[in-house]
Amino acid sequence: MTVQPLARPRLGVAYYPEHWAESRWAYDAKLLREAGITIARMMEFAWDKLEPHEGQYQFEWMDKALQIFGDAGIQVVLCTPTATPPPWLFQKYPDILNVNPDTGVKNSTGSRRTVSANAPAYLEMSDKIVTAIAEHWGQHPNVIGWQIDNEFGCHSTIRDLSDHSRRAFQGWLKAKYQTLEDLNAAWGTQFWSTTYTDWSQIPVPAPTASYHNPGLLLDFRRFSSDAWVAFQKRQIDILRPRIGAERFITHNMMLKFVDMNYYDLARDLDFVGFDNYLHGMSGPMEAAFNLDLMRGMKGGRPFWIMEQQPGPVNWTLFNPPVPPGQVRAWTHQTLAHGAEAVLYFRERAVNIGQEQYHAGVLKHDGTPDRCWHESKAVSEDLAKMPALKRPQAPVGLVFDYEDLWVLELDPHNMEFSYYQLVLDIYNQLWNAHIPVDILPRSADLTGYQTVIVPAPALIREADVARWKAYVESGGNLITTFRSFFKNLGSTWTDQPMPAGGLGELFGVEVDEFFSIPPISSVGWRSSDAPYPDWDDDRGSHVIDIEAKLPGFGFGESFGVPPKVRYAVWAEVLKPTTATPIMRYADGYYKDGPAATANKVGKGMAYYLGCWCEHPIPKSVWKAAGLAALALPERDLPRGVVMEVIKMVDEAGNPVEIRINHSKRTVTLPESVKS
């Protein structure tokens, strides 16, 4: 994780000059500037205004907007408008429409994100409009950067089943596997008589009578993600020589979105952009996780919030109100997790179109809404604060999109969620106020005290070598059930699990695994459900083993340890060189090892065989140094949800940001007031 230089945070807004009379623009800019806003993002849905007819460009209106906002002291981020092609383009090229991946039905025009990333006509017309706007505004003095398109994959549109995508998928597979023999071997196509003898035979995963081959499904996820990464790269290659190195290029990624590999998408960007909408999240913890994930996209580089929820939205089931002070708290939370700028969406509640109920900085009548006042308050807060940055955290938590995909495509238990497993682990750390960096599997682990790798399902032997070196040098490595059992083509390993050398690192093999249905005895994850009597003995609890572990640093007996509930998934382990540290307390695998510890060089490797209510058991929590990192309870006010974020100032001095996520005002304990 690379620690980045300090920068003063800035506030901004998404502004749509095409929605308002030109006579209003200067007044809007004045109002926004009074709220502490110094950045405006424009143009992402304006293709029809920029090019009302093919090849006929109208840029004068945007020239005026740039001048007006520049005069008001507001700099501009321009967006490429390719998320919403105009009606004339669909009329001329109807084959650019995408096909819904769940229904197999072609989408209609009249909305957004209705195009295929593999349609040649769409790619050509996108290239033309991006070239035109880049040549016109690429060196504009008030344009500080560019956003590519808008929210790739919104409305479940990463995967597309059109003929364009089918042909592109076949070409992608040919480039990857070279021969059909290698593809058939990687996927195991002899199952259900699906051995392919010509590339043109390979389908896209449209609805069918039963299940598609898991290797085809996984590769289609990879291909679909790659298609949008390539689409973005086309635009970057057009923009960069025309805008120069001094202007940035970003894209606005989405909260809790896993249909594409964001690590790949981030690779070609100067920094990550992110849209932070909190309704639908489980609370401030899940918001914090997604912010930390964005900070981890480019090795700790600060990111921008391109769209920050300013109040009620229009797209959830009930669209509840946002309490006074909440937007201010959300803004400070994003900044404390590594955001360098926060842009509210939108500048004004709109009177037209599909988002009329969405709040803005200004009301429908153009007067200041609550967000205007809270933006002003945040601006005043920031003026009093030193420049701060996030140092490298002591704990790394790995999040991998391909592991998520392979387990999502074939979960074996409808309640198994890779995302939820990672979130449960993060929640345990967050509640202890332990700083965390979210990492890709390929990350350099230097400097981390403890690294947690949840359910690394796909076998990648290069990762094992890197992880082993980390443990040998003194690191604490924790992994979980469902590790290293799938080859990259989503076939099951024929070696003992975990395969690929991971079992040797952790000193353990998986003897048996169990999918745990949601019954009352293990029902903390779900509602009760009736099952036959013979199934009642599956067990529900694990318990720490009452033994000292010589050389492992526990150095104590745990007395009479409490039983801990588990659910969803369990593995009975067979230690090879590891020592059992937890056993099953009941069920027909009672006394079987449930977690192990293995000393490797100067460090420790811990394998957790079941999904406990608190995923990291007490013994591992202490031995891996996590207990020592936790914030003492005496330093926390009681009865509130408070987030404690550790930062440093320009001199490297530690600074704590404390955010009260509860309704009532609290007084900090005397121990932390200084």
Domain boundary among 384, 404, 438: 384
In a domain? residue 617: yes
531 with 582, same domain?
yes
In a domain? residue 223: no
Residue 237 belongs to domain with CATH number: 3.20.20.80
Distances (CA, A) of 385 to 379, 388, 661: 10, 8, 20
In a domain? residue 106: yes
In a domain? residue 634: no
The number of folded domains in the chain is: 3
499 with 560, same domain?
yes
544 with 663, same domain?
no
pLDDT of residue 526: 44
547 with 623, same domain?
yes
110 with 129, same domain?
yes
363 with 414, same domain?
no
Domain boundary among 384, 405, 435: 384
593 with 477, same domain?
yes
The yes-or-no answer on residue 307 being catalytic is: yes
319 with 373, same domain?
yes
Distances (CA, A) of 413 to 37, 344, 586: 48, 39, 21
75-88 mean pLDDT:
98
Beta strands 579-584 and 339-344, pairing class: unpaired
472 with 420, same domain?
yes
pLDDT of residue 674: 54
508 with 449, same domain?
yes
Predicted confidence (pLDDT) per residue in 133-172, tens digit: 999 999 999 999 999 999 999 999 999 999 999 999 999 9
**CB–CB of 424/454 below 8 Å?**
no
515 with 541, same domain?
yes
Is residue 546 packed enough to be buried (19+ CB in 10 Å), middle (13-18) or exposed (0-12)? exposed
Query: Please, what is the Cα angle at 608 between 607 and 613, to 5 degrees?
Result: 160
In a domain? residue 540: yes
For residue 226, the one-letter residue type is D
Predicted confidence (pLDDT) per residue in 316-327, tens digit: 889 999 999 999
pLDDT of residue 529: 46
In a domain? residue 220: no
Please pick, among 44, 151, 286, 571, the residue that the annotation labels catalytic.
Answer: 151
Ramachandran quadrant class, 374 (left: phi over 0; alpha: psi -120 to 50; beta: rest): alpha
Global model pTM greater than 0.75: yes
Please pick, among 44, 51, 286, 307, the residue that the annotation labels catalytic.
Answer: 307
276 with 303, same domain?
yes
422-437 mean pLDDT:
98
Predicted confidence (pLDDT) per residue in 573-630, tens digit: 999 999 999 999 988 889 999 999 999 999 999 999 999 999 999 889 999 999 999 9
Q: Which H helix or E strand runs over 273?
A: strand 273-276
Is residue 273 packed enough to be buried (19+ CB in 10 Å), middle (13-18) or exposed (0-12)? buried
pLDDT of residue 257: 96
pLDDT of residue 520: 41
In a domain? residue 189: no
pLDDT band for 673, please (50, 70, 90 cuts): low
Domain boundary among 337, 363, 384: 384
Count of CB atoms within 10 A of residue 512's CB?
A: 12
pLDDT of residue 550: 39
DSSP classification of residue 538:
G
Containing domain of residue 306, as a range? 10-159+229-384
Residue 551 belongs to domain with CATH number: 3.40.50.880
Closest listed residue to residue 43, CA positions, set 59, 22, 29: 59
Is residue 131 packed enough to be buried (19+ CB in 10 Å), middle (13-18) or exposed (0-12)? middle
Task: Identify any residues that bridge with 643 across adjacent strands, giving them in sequence order.
Answer: 659
In a domain? residue 488: yes
Count of CB atoms within 10 A of residue 443's CB?
A: 19
